């Protein structure tokens, strides 16, 4: 029995929650569920059997947290836990047609650049789990409850590169329709489909009613089977106990509705048990599979921003050393701030995508391109085009990229096609095909079309969808090849009409060597747009070029009702976009995340102002603005963390230069934070720590899995006025409550704020916390209140 025969051809039912069942059987607060695979096998086998009896045809191994970081303080290795977990699942499934899924959850630490865990370190952790699961004989790999698209990518690559099993991947979304790190449903679909997963979907965090709009969006774009595993509604506190209000019968009805819309795989998450799965099986037993017929999406994305190429989109050309002395120096010196400013100025000018080219003979392009990609993605959220003729540099950059990128480029030469196209397919990228081959650029449009057709056909053979192919018919220079110039536009039209793929051109090449280049560029751009150009590669700081594009979008019916046009040109007092050379102050440097710039400005300001004045006039106001943008969903966690790290850089300079005044700066108050006993997650806590420190508070971080006695002792010793407690597991909320009780019993004059994915206002009140911090920015507001009083 091979599960691939069922995927997309038959409705499949997963099991429900393991943790909920274990809690009902007496799982203690702080107890690690995965250890029961060895220490209480019968209990795990019994839970699997209950789900099988309820009608589930896929059961999930009890290995959600079986990675080396979460198990490092136990007596067992991940390999031992996984081996026993698979054995337990096989025992329960013996004699029945049941598939076993290797369950892989998040590692529990943020990946770079938001955190400290390197992408390849995460990959290695997942790799060990997958190799062991495959060795033990699972039928598929389930990567679930991911909130960071980058971590999901590391897990998917580990699964694809170390097994040939089907890969299912689900992410967890909040009610704002984004994950904790800001990832959208569309970006998830684009990226996971590109990476070649067999099934994608959502699980956890929300109930089925709250998940419905997110599921609808996924079904709108997904072209592979979709799975859903909701919680049993949103948790509520009744008589001091956590309860879920949705009944098994209601859960089953909602499952039926989702199945009718196109979901083909269903199961349960937190709060569900075998009764929920039994009702799902009943509700869907007579439903016919509703196969999705969506075409693959033509677009690129970062986690927080997707750009669907359904009209003219601008690719910014300025991150390129050609003819730029200062840019070359920046690359040699690894001056990321220079590159950041080039990127920011293009984004502010209206670029949809940025071309990134770091090709210099004297640098290690493989290393530099991937580093530039990672750093750019920490400050801007628009997609990138990776521009290189170095295959190793392209692969390394594709691996480092978070989302779906464009590869620029391949050409009609067989070696180029057979080297680059497999990488494009593996990482789910789009690819630019140049209409040249070993003989050079054909002079006639018909011959360039033939090269384009070869590129398209070869890409299709490699399994690359036509939607992911972009053809560049190559702009010739009017000064040297005037007679052949119009052949570019003829070829462009032929490609659009006959091959039906997207097109791109480096527009400014046309004017090389002639005066008044702007006039020729603008004229050629307009002609090319009329011939079918989709992706002009231009300098977006050239207002005349952007004006031409904005006008074309209205006339070509892309800008419906001229809404964007009116927004730009309707106000006579139209503000001019910030030029990259315009002076910015320290506050602006923090908002934009320019570390080097902020450091230099801080040193200069210290000659005129005190450290406290710099904090109060520049750093704190900048963080307030960044925090407000984060609250409104204008920026997301990567940009928030980059600004926080920029403040940290400036703050370190203040401390170094103003040792005496440093005491005043740090005198805003001492805060103790900890993840409570039994909980080994510290992602949220670490973000809170960084932000509080940057607001000038002294933070004592006790780490994770901290006993209440230790917290009480440190509060006494350090005369702490505010304690921050974190928990990400429902099983450790009790530990948080006991910690707060211990602080009260010791008559300690401190306030307590609590936070974590499993908490809400009701939970906080129930466990007698003083404040509930929904995120890091809220923790700062709480600190301001406490230390003002």
Q: Under 8 Å CB-to-CB from 35, ≥6 apart: which residues?
A: 74, 76, 81
- DSSP class of residue 762 equals H
CB-based contact 236:244 (threshold 8 Å): yes
Number of H helices, E strands in the chain: 31, 25
Q: Under 8 Å CB-to-CB from 709, ≥6 apart: which residues?
A: 742
What are the backbone angles phi and psi of residue 26, rounded to the nearest 5°? 100, 20
End-to-end CA distance of the chain: 67
Q: Under 8 Å CB-to-CB from 524, ≥6 apart: which residues?
A: 475, 478, 507, 510, 511
Strands (E), 122-273: 140-146, 167-171, 199-203, 226-229, 235-238, 241-244, 265-266
Does the annotation list 301 as a binding residue? no
CB-based contact 372:339 (threshold 8 Å): yes
Measured between alpha carbons, how far is 686 from 683 in angstroms, rounded to an integer? 5
- Residue in this structure with the two tokens 């095909």, named with its chain if needed: 433
User: Tokens representing 309?
Assistant: 């190429």
- Residue in this structure with the two tokens 């695979």, named with its chain if needed: 37
The Cβ of residue 239 has, within 10 Å, a number of other Cβ atoms equal to 6
State the helix-helix crossing angle for 445-461 and 485-494, rounded to 10 degrees: 40
The Cβ of residue 773 has, within 10 Å, a number of other Cβ atoms equal to 24
Q: Under 8 Å CB-to-CB from 284, ≥6 apart: which residues?
A: 11, 13, 252, 255, 256, 259, 266
Would you call 468 helix, strand, or coil by DSSP?
Answer: helix
Q: How far is CA 315 from CA 283, 383, 433, in A?
A: 49, 10, 16
Measured between alpha carbons, how far is 239 from 600 in angstroms, rounded to an integer? 57
Q: Peptide bond preceding 113: is omega within 30 degrees of 0, i.e. cis?
A: yes
Does the annotation list 269 as a binding residue? yes
Burial of 167 (0-12, 13-18, 19+ CB in 10 A): buried
* β-strands 140-146, 722-726 pairing: unpaired
CB-based contact 470:434 (threshold 8 Å): no
Would you call 410 helix, strand, or coil by DSSP?
Answer: strand
DSSP-assigned states of every residue in 286-333: TPPP----PPPP-EEE-SS-EEE-SS--PEEEEE--TT-HHHHHHHHT
What are the backbone angles phi and psi of residue 421, rounded to the nearest 5°? -60, -40
Across the strands, what pairs with 432?
A: 408, 470
Measured between alpha carbons, how far is 760 from 232 in angstroms, rounded to an integer? 16
Task: For residue 448, give the nearest of 382, 498, 513 by alpha carbon.
Answer: 498
State the helix-helix crossing angle for 445-461 and 414-427, rounded to 10 degrees: 50
**Binding residue ranges:** 204, 269-270
**Binding residue ranges for Zn(2+):** 204, 269-270
């Amino acid at each position: 029995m091979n599960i691939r025969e069922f995927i997309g051809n038959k409705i499949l039912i997963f099991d429900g929650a393991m943790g909920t069942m274990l809690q009902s059987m007496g799982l203690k607060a702080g107890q690690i569920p995965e250890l029961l695979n060895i220490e209480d096998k019968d209990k795990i086998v019994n839970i699997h059997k209950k789900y099988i009896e309820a009608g589930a045809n896929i059961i999930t191994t009890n290995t959600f947290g079986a990675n080396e970081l979460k198990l490092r303080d136990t007596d067992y290795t991940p390999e031992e836990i996984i081996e026993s977990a698979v054995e337990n699942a096989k025992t329960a499934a013996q004699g029945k047609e049941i598939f076993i899924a290797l369950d892989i959850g998040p590692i529990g630490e943020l990946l770079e650049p938001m955190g400290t865990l390197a992408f390849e370190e995460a990959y290695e952790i997942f790799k060990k789990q997958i190799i062991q699961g495959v060795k033990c004989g699972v039928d598929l790999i389930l990567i679930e409850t991911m909130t960071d698209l980058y971590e999901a990518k590391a897990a998917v690559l580990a699964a694809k590169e170390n097994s040939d099993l089907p890969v299912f991947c689900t992410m967890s979304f909040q009610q704002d329709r984004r994950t904790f790190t800001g990832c959208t449903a569309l970006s998830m679909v684009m990226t996971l489909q590109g990476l070649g997963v067999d099934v994608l979907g959502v699980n956890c965090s929300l109930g089925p009613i709250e998940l419905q709009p997110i599921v609808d969006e996924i079904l709108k774009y997904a072209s592979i089977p979709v799975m859903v595993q909701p919680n049993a509604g949103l948790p509520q506190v009744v008589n001091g106990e956590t309860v879920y209000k949705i009944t098994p019968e209601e859960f089953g009805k909602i499952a039926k509705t989702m199945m009718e819309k196109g979901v083909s795989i269903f199961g349960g998450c937190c709060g569900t048990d075998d009764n929920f799965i039994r009702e799902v099986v009943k509700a869907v037993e007579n439903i016919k599979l509703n196969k999705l017929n969506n075409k693959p999406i033509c677009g690129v994305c970062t986690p927080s921003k997707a750009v669907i190429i359904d009209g003219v989109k601008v690719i910014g050309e300025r991150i390129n050393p050609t003819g730029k002395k200062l840019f070359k120096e920046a690359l040699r010196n690894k001056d990321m701030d220079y590159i950041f400013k080039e990127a920011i100025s293009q984004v502010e000018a209206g670029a949809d995508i940025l071309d990134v080219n770091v090709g210099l003979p004297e640098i290690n392009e493989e290393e530099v391109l991937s580093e530039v990609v990672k750093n750019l993605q920490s400050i801007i959220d628009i997609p990138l085009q990776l521009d290189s003729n170095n295959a190793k540099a392209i692969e390394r950059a594709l691996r480092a990229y978070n989302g779906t990128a464009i590869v620029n480029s391949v050409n009609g030469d067989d070696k180029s096609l057979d080297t680059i196209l497999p990488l494009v397919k593996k990482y789910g990228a789009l690819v630019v095909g140049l209409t040249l081959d070993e003989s050079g650029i054909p002079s006639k449009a018909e011959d360039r079309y033939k090269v384009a057709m070869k590129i398209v056909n070869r890409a299709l053979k490699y399994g690359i969808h036509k939607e992911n192919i972009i053809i560049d018919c190559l702009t010739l220079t009017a000064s040297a090849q005037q007679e052949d110039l119009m052949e570019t536009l003829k070829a462009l039209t032929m490609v659009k009409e006959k091959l039906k793929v997207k097109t791109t051109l480096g527009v400014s090449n046309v004017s090389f060597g002639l005066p008044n280049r702007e006039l020729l560029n603008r004229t050629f751009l307009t002609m090319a747009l009329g011939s079918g150009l989709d992706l002009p590669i231009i300098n977006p700081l050239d207002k005349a070029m952007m004006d031409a594009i904005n006008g074309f979008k209205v006339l070509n019916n892309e800008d419906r009702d001229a809404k964007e046009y009116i927004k730009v040109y309707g106000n006579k007092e139209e503000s001019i976009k910030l030029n990259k050379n315009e002076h910015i102050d320290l506050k602006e440097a923090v908002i934009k995340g320019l570390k080097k710039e902020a450091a230099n400005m801080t040193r200069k300001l210290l000659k005129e102002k005190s450290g406290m004045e710099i904090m109060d006039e520049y750093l704190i106001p900048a963080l307030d603005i960044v925090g407000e943008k984060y609250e409104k969903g204008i920026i997301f966690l990567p940009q928030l963390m980059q600004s926080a790290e920029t403040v940290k850089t400036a703050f370190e300079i203040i401390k170094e230069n103003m040792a005496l005044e440093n005491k005043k700066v740090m005198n805003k108050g001492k805060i103790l934070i900890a993840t409570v006993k039994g909980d080994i997650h510290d992602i949220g806590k670490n973000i809170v720590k960084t932000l509080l420190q940057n607001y000038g508070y002294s933070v004592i971080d006790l780490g994770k899995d901290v006993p209440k006695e230790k917290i009480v002792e440190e509060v006494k010793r350090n005369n702490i006025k505010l304690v921050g407690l974190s928990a990400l597991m429902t099983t450790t909320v009790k530990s948080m409550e006991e910690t707060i009780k211990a602080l009260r019993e010791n008559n300690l004059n401190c306030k307590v704020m609590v936070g974590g994915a499993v908490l809400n206002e009701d939970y906080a009140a129930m466990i007698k916390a003083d404040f509930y911090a929904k995120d890091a920015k809220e923790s700062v507001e709480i600190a301001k209140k406490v230390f003002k009083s």
